[in-house]
Amino acid sequence: MTDVVLKVKDLAVSFMSELGLVRAVDGVDFELRRGETLALVGESGCGKSVTAHSILRLVEHAGGRIERGSVWFNGADLLKMPAEALRRVRGNRIAMIFQEPMTALNPVFTVGEQVAEVIREHLGRKRKEARAQAIDLFARVGIPDPSQRVDHYPHQLSGGMKQRVMIAMALACSPLVLIADEPTTALDVTVQAQILDLIASLQREQGMAVLLITHDLGVVAEVGDRVSVMYCGRMVEHGTAHEVFSEPLHPYTHGLISSIPSLTAPRGQLRAIPGGVPDPLDFPSGCRFHPRCFLKTRLETAAESGGSRICSEVSPSLREWRPSHPAACHFAEHMPPAAKEPAP
Partner 1 sequence: MTDLKEITAALEERAAVQGPRRILHPRRRLHQAALWIADTVILASAAATLIASSAPWVRIDQGSVEFPNFRTWIRADAAWLAALWVYLLVRILLGSRNRRGWMKRILIRGLAGLFLLFLVLTHLLPDRRPPERVSVFAEGFSIQAPIPFDPDHTDPEAFRAPPSRRHLLGTDTQGRDLLSRLIHGGRVSLLVAFCSTLIAVSLGLLFGAVCGFFGGLVDLLLMRVLEIFLCFPQLFLLILVFAYLPGSLLAVVAMIGLVAWTSIARLVRAEVLRIKNHDFVLAARALGCPSFMVLIRHVLPLSVGPTLVAASFCFAGAMISEASLSFLGLGLPQGTPTWGRILFDGKGALDYAPWISLFPGLLLFLAIASIHFVGERLRDALDPRARVIAPEIMPSVSISKGRIR
Q: Which residues bind partner 1 (CB under 8 A)?
A: 53, 56, 58, 61-62, 87-92, 95-96, 98-100, 103-109, 117-118, 121-122, 166, 169-170
Q: Report residue 217: phi and psi, to 5°.
A: -70, -25
What's the closest the beta carbon of residue 156 comes to partner 1, in angstroms? 15
Q: How far is CA 209 from CA 3, 78, 163, in A?
A: 11, 17, 19
Give the β-pairing of 177-181 and 209-214.
Answer: parallel
Beta strands in 43-202 (DSSP E): 64-73, 76-77, 94-97, 177-181
Distance CA 138, CA 149 (A): 8
Burial of 15 (0-12, 13-18, 19+ CB in 10 A): middle
Judged by beta carbon, residue 175 or residue 280, the one nearer partner 1 is 175
Per-residue DSSP letter, 280: T
What's the closest the beta carbon of residue 61 comes to partner 1, in angstroms? 6
Per-residue DSSP letter, 8: E
What's the closest the beta carbon of residue 102 comes to partner 1, in angstroms? 8
What's the closest the beta carbon of residue 52 comes to partner 1, in angstroms? 10
Judged by beta carbon, residue 5 or residue 96, the one nearer partner 1 is 96
Judged by beta carbon, residue 88 or residue 242, the one nearer partner 1 is 88
Judged by beta carbon, residue 165 or residue 273, the one nearer partner 1 is 165
Judged by beta carbon, residue 151 or residue 279, the one nearer partner 1 is 151
Distance CA 337, CA 342 (A): 9
Q: Which residues is 30 bridged to in the sheet?
A: 8
Judged by beta carbon, residue 47 or residue 251, the one nearer partner 1 is 47
What's the closest the beta carbon of residue 153 comes to partner 1, in angstroms? 13
Cβ–Cβ under 8 Å, residues 212 and 222: no
Local structure of 212: helix, strand or coil: strand
Per-residue DSSP letter, 173: T
In the chain, the amino acid numbered 82 is P
- Pick left, alpha or beta for residue 275 (phi over 0 → left; psi -120 to 50 → alpha; otherwise beta): left
What's the closest the beta carbon of residue 100 comes to partner 1, in angstroms? 6
What's the closest the beta carbon of residue 63 comes to partner 1, in angstroms? 10
What's the closest the beta carbon of residue 113 comes to partner 1, in angstroms? 9
Judged by beta carbon, residue 82 or residue 266, the one nearer partner 1 is 82
Judged by beta carbon, residue 85 or residue 339, the one nearer partner 1 is 85
- For the CA atoms of the chain, what is the radius of gyration? 21
Would you say the C-alpha torsion 322, 324, 325, 329 has a positive or negative sign? positive
